[in-house]
Copies of this chain bind each other. A is one copy, B any other.
Amino acid sequence: MEALKLAGREEPSQHTIVKINSPKGPVLIGEGHCTIIAGPCAVENRDDYLMIAKALQEMGVHILRGGAFKPRTSPYSFMGLGLEGLKILAEARELTGLPVVTEVMDTRDIDLICNYADILQVGSRNMQNFRLLQEVGQIEKPVILKRGLSSTIEEWLLAAEYILSSGNQKLILCERGIRTFENYTRNTVDIGAVSVIKSLSHLPVIVDPSHATGRWEIVKPVAKAAVVAGADGLMVEVHPYPERALSDGKQSLTPNNFSRLWAEVKKLADVEGKRY
């Protein structure tokens, strides 16, 4: 593995805890915490988003997610509401007091998104969009860097190095499944990578069991596995009506199923001594 100047850690006790500002006070992600990010894949309309946001806040979720600019394999798919989606996210933020995270796909959108969101996410397909990494490396807000679909752990940490070396230390890594020959599940979550990252780096790492599996019925066991394997949090897709979601419906939990997941995760977080 290539030397890591900034993403590596100097001693086992070195851990970065990322602090996210929000109306209700700071939310922390990092060692010793079990921070939950939840919400639908995309912001689809105001009413549904505000309803699910409120429900998630009441269940104790720490951060809301929702895509306004969606990367889609086909140019003919729903691509998100754009600015309108950002405004709905901001409204949900006011309503719930929770910070919001949304994806950025283009260097030209960074300023706009920073006006509305608390955390910027760089998605899997852009993990090696190096210009985008350099630009989000120059903002004040925290960044979630998802692992590329076929990126090695080394490439992922070097992508992190791009952001860190550009000046932004508020960086969170997110394992979200890698592409393998197995296609009963959408991707294969690399559960070992979580502890590898924790041993090599001081950065927080969370897991997205929804994209990793692509099947809602497997989200709960994978989420639980992530927490005891060392993850500092989870990012879970929750949709009020998965069957009519405009994207990723098959991997979205209903609020009820999410509630069951969260209850079981909390028991494991207790055993592991993680706060939530």
Contacts and interface: CB of A to CB of B under 8 A. Distances in A.
Interface of A: 1-2, 5, 71-76, 105-108, 125-126, 128-131, 134, 149-150, 152-155, 158, 161-162, 165-166, 178-185, 188-196, 199, 212-213, 217-218, 221-222, 224-230, 267-268, 271
A105 B131 contact: yes
A18 to B, nearest CB: 20
Contacts of A165: 75-76
Number of copies of this chain in the oligomer?
4
A150 B179 contact: yes
A136 to B, nearest CB: 13
B130 A105 contact: yes
Contacts of A134: 75
Please give me the 9 A-B residue pairs with the lowest Cβ-Cβ distance, nearest first. A150-B150, A225-B225, A125-B128, A195-B221, A106-B131, A225-B229, A224-B228, A221-B229, A191-B191
B228 A76 contact: no
Contacts of A229: 221-222, 224-225
Contacts of A179: 150, 181
15 contacts: A2-B74, A71-B130, A75-B134, A75-B162, A106-B131, A129-B129, A153-B182, A153-B184, A179-B181, A180-B190, A184-B193, A189-B191, A195-B221, A227-B228, A267-B271
